[in-house]
Structure 1
């Protein structure tokens, strides 16, 4: 069965054919390809290379704040469940140590165009703690006048004045974790947040002058049905956030301990998930949202959609973004950095994190130096993920290759996507068709040379 909504063709047959497991490509190579042979000294080398150059890309900063007051059973994040704010005070002290070590090595150009606080629950931090964190960051990095400052928000932590405080601290974008409004689903995942609570938080956000509000939904959760999720969509569309992320729940209890609390018999079947996805996509498109890519939707006038239309959309660890290529500085446990042609990731536990910093070392556990082939394939994959054309002449000039010859096996593999009308291949470019925009994750995987190699990571499916 096919349906067309707002110019996007939804084909059940094609979804069934191309619904395979694979990376979300917030990086390439993906994080499961980072190795322990890349440690602190390797990261320092790339920081120092940046410091030695006169011209560098701007900075994006990600700060991982791992604390949550309660456990959401679906969660796959690196988090610590606690009500003890003394742990926050300690964590801030160590974040400051890490900032000092990085700022001392990164050189004079500290201009930040993007800041994102993630977690965990960043709004677990109280007003004084958030002020302290922002003072620490602003004391070491300079923020561009139009910098994006975003924060993830658990609506259950929003109090009177919370959104005004965040705006006062400079935040202009936020993302609310909604997931589902149905009481039975909320009970099944241990996240009770009534619709009225989210409504008030969104009202407060608008009153405080935030430029953009995102809402996260998750389909495939226990107790969800087509009808119940339809009611959730009714409520969310009424709230009218600027952006909506429609995530597919990946049930991996062997990897994520929290998910073992979920009763597997309560999970919707694969067929039910497919129908929920199709219904949700149609509803959001019919409500006037534009499909950005993967699982993201935005209003027509939103910056993300405008960037999609003018082919300036980018993708990084925070997902789709309007910001051009940046060096990313990750701070906090498990945070990932991208500096120059490298990735690095911090240790996962607070104990290890503090131990490294007590010894005067950056807490790097693993990473990767990217080869010329990695950089080339990253460019190709990220271009496809943004549904932009792969223009052979431009790539040949940038990377010194003959695209058609270099990627001859991959072009042959793309034949199935071309035959299905998802892409076109001609003498000068590969282009994603409107119908193919839902399938860019699958077509991008063709260019991932590491997918056939052993890994302990299980990727989620397209649907």
Structure 2
């Protein structure tokens, strides 16, 4: 556990703050190619070398009843619940198509429903989708699988939570963002505290293993005084994990963000004060700073995995399950199979047309080169386990690390002088002051970054 004063160095955060990837993959989605097609994906799925790994399944449910102005997710805003029915049928058909490509005896050790709002589906629809998944894939017993779902407390009752537990979900993630009613109104997400409390109580009553909560700093009308109350309230609720994201204002990419009053947003200095508050409050309360936006109780599996150097990162963020092949279902879903990333068509029409025609909906992707794989593993180790042990990469890839990455290590000299990293003959270590800037450190090893437009990425701080 790190002291807040060691983690939070405002001079260094200001110096190194920049736009950069979140590295849920490397190469990032900006490198996915339009000429990648289902044939490329099928070849990866047929690779016999992949059969020893577990499977991870991701389902994207894009529907939301109302729009949150800050949101940058791939979503469909509608109050028409019947729109879910044809989409559900298409996802179930996709389950069948994907299952035909894999040895379905491979254990599914991880499953996640994201969105949008997965609880937009009715209870019967949830049962239908999970039933089809179990029919075609080898889901694990409750104590062996990590099965999570994103919850909007405005869309879920105690009955919903009990039903999800009965389907096999054992981890819950819920959005809150801020408890302050002025902020909630400004971002079009009215969510009384009671709704959040009811969902968390129901999750615990039904034996969910982990409850994770999302907050956002940098929203209109936020200030240290009001956000302190939000954090204090959240600490009383004591979720296993708390993610506190810095709001990324990118109205050129997400038009709904234009609905918010930019004049009411915190200044850069106020954002920095909000971030310091987050770090102080959560670390003093005993949460472990995992990295980037994530905090976890020491007993949570994320904290344990980081301590054991087994933490991983994928398209859903930090994960305890490394070396899984990830299959994505639904519009815009991304999968990782062997040495390829593949993404489905982003729009419902394109996605549905492919599935209805009996085809996979793969729209773009990329096959990793040997250099991509090496750099991916370097970036993953930095982002997750905060250390590079050169001998591990030399044994796995047959390289002499200091010689192969002499340019990158030289670029890290300034980071070293500023106390962000420590270098020795056999390793590179991210120091406490560098943990909040780990994206910047990882960016040094990204060979694609110079050719990409910075405005496509969020700020690292």
Normalising by structure 1, we get a TM-score of 0.97
Deviations 1:443-463 (A, max 9, x none): 000000001013485211122
Q: Which residue of 152, 169, 172 maps to 1:171?
A: 169
Displacement of 1:432 in angstroms is 1.4
Question: Hey, what does 2:13 align to over in structure 1?
Answer: 15
**Residue 140 of structure 2 aligns to a residue in which SS?**
strand
Contact 2:34 2:364 in 1 (8 A): yes
Question: Hey, what does 2:439 align to over in structure 1?
Answer: 441
Distance in 1 between residues matched to 2:151 and 2:413, nearest whole Å: 43
Displacement of 1:197 in angstroms is 1.3
Contact 1:46 1:340 in 2 (8 A): yes
Question: Hey, what does 2:360 align to over in structure 1?
Answer: 362
1:452 aligns with 2:442: no
Aligned ranges for residues 47-58 of structure 1 at < 5 Å?
Answer: 47-49=45-47, 52-53=48-49, 55-58=51-54
Question: Hey, what does 2:178 align to over in structure 1?
Answer: 180
Distance in 1 between residues matched to 2:70 and 2:51, nearest whole Å: 43
Residues 203, 456 of structure 1: alpha-carbon distance in 2 compared, 3 angstrom cutoff: same
**Residue 374 of structure 1 aligns to a residue in which SS?**
helix
1:142 aligns with 2:138: yes
Displacement of 1:341 in angstroms is 0.4
Contact 1:387 1:440 in 2 (8 A): no
Residues 6, 219 of structure 1: alpha-carbon distance in 2 compared, 3 angstrom cutoff: closer
Question: Hey, what does 2:40 align to over in structure 1?
Answer: 42
Q: Which residue of 270, 282, 285 maps to 1:284?
A: 282
Contact 2:51 2:103 in 1 (8 A): no
Question: Hey, what does 2:112 align to over in structure 1?
Answer: 116
Distance in 2 between residues matched to 1:160 and 1:407, nearest whole Å: 53
Distance in 1 between residues matched to 2:66 and 2:182, nearest whole Å: 18
Normalising by structure 2, we get a TM-score of 0.97
Contact 1:63 1:118 in 2 (8 A): yes
Aligned ranges for residues 281-320 of structure 1 at < 5 Å?
Answer: 281-320=279-318
Question: Hey, what does 1:60 align to over in structure 2?
Answer: 56
Aligned-residue CA RMSD (Å):
1.3
**Residue 222 of structure 1 aligns to a residue in which SS?**
coil
Contact 1:43 1:344 in 2 (8 A): yes
1:153 aligns with 2:156: no
Displacement of 1:434 in angstroms is 2.5
Question: Hey, what does 1:421 align to over in structure 2?
Answer: 419
Q: Which moved more, 1:376-385 or 1:34-43?
A: 34-43
Question: Hey, what does 1:104 align to over in structure 2?
Answer: 100
The runs of 4+ residues in structure 1 deviating greater than 6 Å are none
Distance in 2 between residues matched to 1:288 and 1:316, nearest whole Å: 26
Contact 1:59 1:110 in 2 (8 A): yes
1:406 aligns with 2:404: yes
Displacement of 1:136 in angstroms is 0.9
Equivalent pairs, count? 458
Distance in 1 between residues matched to 2:279 and 2:373, nearest whole Å: 33
Distance in 1 between residues matched to 2:51 and 2:342, nearest whole Å: 22
Question: Hey, what does 2:336 align to over in structure 1?
Answer: 338
Displacement of 1:388 in angstroms is 3.5
Displacement of 1:7 in angstroms is 7.6
Distance in 2 between residues matched to 1:295 and 1:8, nearest whole Å: 16
Question: Hey, what does 2:77 align to over in structure 1?
Answer: 81
Question: Hey, what does 1:219 align to over in structure 2?
Answer: 217
Contact 1:48 1:105 in 2 (8 A): yes
Distance in 2 between residues matched to 1:9 and 1:234, nearest whole Å: 20
Distance in 1 between residues matched to 2:39 and 2:95, nearest whole Å: 17
**Residue 7 of structure 2 aligns to a residue in which SS?**
strand
Contact 1:122 1:153 in 2 (8 A): yes
Distance in 1 between residues matched to 2:429 and 2:124, nearest whole Å: 50
Deviations 1:80-130 (A, max 9, x none): 111222211101111111111111111344310000000000011111010
Question: Hey, what does 1:372 align to over in structure 2?
Answer: 370
Displacement of 1:387 in angstroms is 3.2
Distance in 1 between residues matched to 2:204 and 2:250, nearest whole Å: 36
Residues 398, 284 of structure 1: alpha-carbon distance in 2 compared, 3 angstrom cutoff: same
Deviations 1:306-340 (A, max 9, x none): 11111111111111111122100000000000000
Q: Which moved more, 1:448-457 or 1:323-332?
A: 448-457
Deviations 1:50-97 (A, max 9, x none): xx3484211111000001101110110111111222211101111111
Give the gaps of 5 or more residues in structure 2: none
